Amino acid sequence: MKGLIRGIHHITAIAGDPQRNIEFYMGVLGLRLVKRTVNYDDPRAYHFYFGDEKGRPGTILTFFSWPGAHRGRKGTGQATAASFSVPERSLGSWAERLSSRGIPFNGPVPRFDEEVITLSDPDGLALELVERAGERADDPGTDGPIPPSLAIRGIHGVTLSVEGNERTAGLLTERFGFRFKGEKGNRFRYEAEAGESGSVVDVFSLPAANGGQVAVGTVHHVAFRTPGRQEQSAWRNELLESGYDVTPVIDRTYFRSIYFHEPGGVLFEIATDSPGFSVDEPVDRLGSRLVLPAWLEPQRSRLEKILPPIRIPKP
């Protein structure tokens, strides 16, 4: 039994300079670096995972860093914005925080039943901070630079830009089990039944727009949650039977992954919740050192020379 998709597991995007990336997501947005590793498909590039204090699925935004690479182009066939949940009545403080650091933003503006601030990261990636009624108030950790009343609670959702929303909507509602929640202009909203972190997918229908190009400042893929191997295997079989071109299961150490393109062209992944980020370092040490999978350990000294040094910003 594969069950329904429980929401977004992580979003992966491309950054330029790794130090600038870390300073923004840790220093400005107050996320934790929960894993410092390399891109398994190109180990000369960092792969950073940012998230909450435990690195829970649904809180994770990850980056491959491509220093010196050109910026990508936003367009159809891409996820064009990543949004974070923040506590109720916190956007005023976020506006002050961003202003005091000279970071441009727009809003807060209403969208459906929420308030939203939009901004860009240093590489031009579109981000949103979304105040959500009833957003849980449990303590997201006390060692971050952001007070708990303000701290990001996790991924809120993602915006996909596609030529036409119907086929993407079909995948989300008929297979993933998302519910259609409403439309405003060309924005169509779908939400996972579970209603946990990362449960919102907005689909922008842009029939006249150009296709996007993945490079610095764009999203590489969106990963959705499934509990474990059995459910993932069932998903893989179902997608293959439906005609999707799905990869074999790939071991990403912290989760297992399958990838396929959704009908609008966006690269989707289905990732397992288990085993999680504490599989190779304790929770209180997450992200404190470069960790490599066993098959790359023999190359550690070579990779440490190639990868630019980074400093973790002080709170």
Residues 260-289 that bind Zn ion (CB under 5 A): 269
Query: Residue 47 or 74: which CB sits closer to Zn ion?
Result: 47
Q: Which residue is nearest to Zn ion (CB)?
A: 223
| Options 12-20, 104-112, 233-241, 294-302: segment touching Zn ion (CB under 5 A) | 12-20
CA distance 116 to 95: 11
Among 7, 12, 22, 307, binds Zn ion (CB under 5 A): 12
DSSP β-ladder status, 126-131 and 154-162 = unpaired
Longest Cα–Cα distance of the chain, Å, equals: 54
CB of 227 to Zn ion, least distance (A): 17
Query: Residue 98 or 250: which CB sits closer to Zn ion?
Result: 250
Count of residues that bind Zn ion according to CB under 5 A: 3
Is 198 an interacting residue with respect to Zn ion (CB under 5 A)?
no
Residue 99 is classified by DSSP as H
3-state secondary structure 221-283: EEEEEECCHHHHHHHHHHHHHCCCCCCCCEECCCCEEEEEECCCCCEEEEEECCCCHHHCCCH
Query: Residue 62 or 205: which CB sits closer to Zn ion?
Result: 62
| Options 156-164, 176-184, 218-226, 281-289: segment touching Zn ion (CB under 5 A) | 218-226
CB of 12 to Zn ion, least distance (A): 5
Q: Which helix (H) or strand (E) holds 128?
A: strand 126-131
Is 232 an interacting residue with respect to Zn ion (CB under 5 A)?
no
Q: Which helix (H) or strand (E) holds 8?
A: strand 8-15
Query: Residue 144 or 154: which CB sits closer to Zn ion?
Result: 154
CB of 37 to Zn ion, least distance (A): 12
Residues 131-160 that bind Zn ion (CB under 5 A): none
Backbone angles phi, psi at 72, to 5 degrees: -80, 180
Neighbours of 16 (CB within 10 A): 21
Query: Residue 61 or 91: which CB sits closer to Zn ion?
Result: 61
CB of 94 to Zn ion, least distance (A): 27
DSSP β-ladder status, 114-120 and 126-131 = antiparallel
Q: Is the separation of the CB atoms in 49 and 34 below 8 Å?
A: yes
CB of 256 to Zn ion, least distance (A): 11
CA distance 103 to 122: 9
Query: Residue 64 or 94: which CB sits closer to Zn ion?
Result: 64
Is 223 an interacting residue with respect to Zn ion (CB under 5 A)?
yes
CA distance 294 to 57: 23
CB of 315 to Zn ion, least distance (A): 28
CB of 48 to Zn ion, least distance (A): 13
DSSP β-ladder status, 187-191 and 200-205 = antiparallel
Q: Would you tell me which residues interact with Zn ion (CB under 5 A)?
A: 12, 223, 269
